[in-house]
Amino acid sequence: MTSTPTEKAKRIIEHYGVSHQLVKLCEECAELTQQAVKCYDAGIEYSYSLVEEMADVKVMLMQFESIMLPEDREILEFIIAKKLNRQIGRIENENRRFEETPRESREN
């Protein structure tokens, strides 16, 4: 029987337990951090190792999302949208301030 990625994620976290998977989440986040630092130090946008760790963290997040109540998943999506919009707002404000700054003041 085929199952969706969400169903597989739910099966994994139900098998190992939330407590165990919280530790795994910490480990995977630390591994992702290490690879991000390596990319930064190497001056590259991403590497295969970074992609692997991104996948690991996403799989962990999928597990936790799979056990959340539907209304809490909606709250998660709402918070994500809010944070994305807030950051876009900051970028637009930065650009506006830059454009409003006289050219003479920008140089130096």
Binding site for Mg ion (CB under 5 A): 28, 31, 56
User: Given the complex with Mg ion, which of 21 and 56 has the nearer CB atom?
Assistant: 56
Residue 9 neighbours by CB under 8 Å, 6+ apart: 59, 62, 63, 65, 66
Q: Minimal distance in Å, beta carbon 35 to Mg ion? A: 9
Q: Minimal distance in Å, beta carbon 36 to Mg ion? A: 13
User: Given the complex with Mg ion, which of 26 and 75 has the nearer CB atom?
Assistant: 26
